[in-house]
Homo-oligomer: A and B are copies of this chain.
Amino acid sequence: MSATLVFKALADPTRRAIIDLLKEQDMTAGDIAEQFNMKKPSISHHLSTLQTAELVLSERNGQHIIYSLNTTVFQDIMMWMMNVSGKENEK
């Protein structure tokens, strides 16, 4: 897990909105794109960024590609966060 890639991925509001959608249910690239006022290639690029950061997973189903959250990485980042705010409390 690369913290830099993960935080870069999370630093964009559109990508966080995609994550918010995927929290509710797995979705196809097309269905995700429909939710945004942005061209499909741009959403595809955001999905690729999320995937490189290992925040989402994808699986092809016929013509569709279905995206889902990979919660493992969220947990890893939370650990890092907890370590930061934990150490501080030791002061």
Contacts and interface: CB of A to CB of B under 8 A. Distances in A.
Interface SS majority for chain A: helix
Interface stretch (A6-14, A32-40, A58-66): A6-14
Interface in A38-88: 69, 71, 74-75, 77-78, 81-85, 87-88
Nearest to A74: B85
Interface residues of A, number: 26
Given A3-B16, A71-B88, 16 more contacts: A3-B10, A3-B13, A4-B13, A7-B8, A23-B83, A23-B87, A23-B88, A69-B84, A69-B88, A71-B84, A74-B81, A74-B85, A74-B88, A77-B81, A78-B81, A78-B85
